Amino acid sequence: MAWEFETEPEFQAKLDWIKQFCDEKVEPLHHVFPHAVRSPDPAVKAYVRQLQQEVKDQGLWALFLDEDLGGPGFGQLKLALVNEVIGRYPAAPQLFGAAAPDTGNMEMLAAYGTEEQKERWLKPLLAQEMFSAYSMTEPQGGSDPNLFVTHAERDGDEWVINGEKWFTSAGRVADLLFVMCTNGMYVVPRTTPGVEIMPEPRNHNHIIYRDVRVPLDHLLGPEDGAKVLAQRRLGGGRIHHAMRTIAQCQLALDMMCERALTRRSHGQVIAEHQMVQDKIAESYVKLKMLRLLVLEAAWKIDRTSTQEARTEIAAVKFTMSRVLREISFDALHIHGSLGTTDLTPLQDMYAAAPHMGLADGPDEVHKATVARRILKSYRPHDGNFPREFRPYKEQAAREKMQPVLDANPELAKAAENYRRYFAGRRG
């Protein structure tokens, strides 16, 4: 039996390299050149390519893909350990070729795309010569595919798409839109006539598809296979969000502790105040519990599949948003007025928590999933009282021990004395 809480030395060396690389190169890039990966400036683009080549030389590019799909094939557990590092730095996922929403779309292409589709779209996405968005949720149906109405109608050698999508993250700046319809998943270039992006929201876009025509080969996977593709995409996406959330929670805890040891109030550093100590202790435990939950889910996926680990993935999904909200709020509170400004990452973290509770399906849906799947392994008890009802347990115990008592009169006498004693106490 193997039961260990340690990382192999060889992989730890990779994690150490990632941490150093992010500290020395990724974080400065983010602050000097925000959104550098998408910069049109040739000099910035060349520098980004230089950094990405360093990542590729380490075998750390497109971490989320298995070897047979073109990635390093780390598996989910090692990926979780990597995300604990890069999730701390806003620019790191793109520098490592592992940023959402492209990651999920590339997974769908890698798993379900034809060779021609992979050549046309997957390779440019992996090389960051293209960027994509996932157009799934709808104004009237949210994330429930049973309520979707966006539909593709075949007309000769084209599909004609009509519908309305809500909260397509990064849709405005995407080259490709992966559009989930009632009868399939379609790849739609953003510049296709009929794709109308509403002015608001700015980052998570409202898009109307009005008689949008795409060739037949823009259907990804089988016709009517959208739900299967979506589950493949979202299952991985949920745990990847959780992996990066650990990094954000750790950053908030680090900031909280540093601030508590620095600020003074009523003649002492605030770390000496019990209410501050309570926040630090609670945050530490919440972070550790979330981390172990995520690592267990990742471990189970590696041993089985995302389908087999659905309970664990759903549990991680609704836990991460709560933990992020609570730890970031306590860190924000300990920073006082500074925490309410945009001069630290804390406001962004706290604002991200509600988004995390809704992205890839609302938390309530995942709680229901966990409850239903757990309940499948239980059965109702007989009669009016549960199986742990003490009189039932005592009767069953006596029946099990009767052969032993029959064979040992002294032990039987002791058992009768015990019975009388406890019966007297109850009386």
Question: Is the pLDDT at 31 greater than 80, yes or no?
Answer: yes
| Domain shared by 364 and 244, yes or no | yes
pLDDT value at residue 239: 87
| Domain shared by 25 and 49, yes or no | yes
pLDDT value at residue 427: 59
Tokens (6 digits) for 353: 């928590």
| Domain shared by 253 and 189, yes or no | no
| Domain shared by 213 and 247, yes or no | no
| Domain shared by 241 and 370, yes or no | yes
The answer as to whether 208 is a domain residue is yes
**Cα–Cα dist 240/162, whole Å:** 31
H/E segment holding residue 355 = helix 346-356
| Domain shared by 207 and 236, yes or no | no
**Cα–Cα dist 335/331, whole Å:** 6
pTM of the predicted model as reported, rounded to 2 decimal places: 0.89
| Domain shared by 267 and 370, yes or no | yes
In 22-153, which ranges are continuous DSSP H helix? Answer: 27-32, 42-57, 76-86, 92-95, 102-112, 115-117, 123-126
C-beta separation of 48 from 25 below 8 A: no
AA identity, residue 162: N
DSSP letter, residue 120: I
pLDDT digits (tens, 9 = 90+) for 232-287: 787 677 888 899 999 999 999 999 999 999 999 999 999 999 999 999 999 999 99
| Domain shared by 178 and 262, yes or no | no
Residue with tokens 């115990």: 397
Full domain range(s) for residue 352: 227-375
CA dist list (Å): 193 to 152, 153, 172 = 15, 16, 14
| Domain shared by 155 and 254, yes or no | no
Residue with tokens 């406001």: 347
First to last CA, the chain: 49
| Domain shared by 343 and 420, yes or no | no
| Domain shared by 172 and 301, yes or no | no
pLDDT digits (tens, 9 = 90+) for 94-124: 999 999 899 999 999 999 999 999 999 999 9
Q: What is the CATH number of the domain that holds 63?
A: 1.10.540.10
AA identity, residue 211: D
By DSSP bridging, strand 268-269 and strand 264-265 are antiparallel
| Domain shared by 109 and 13, yes or no | yes
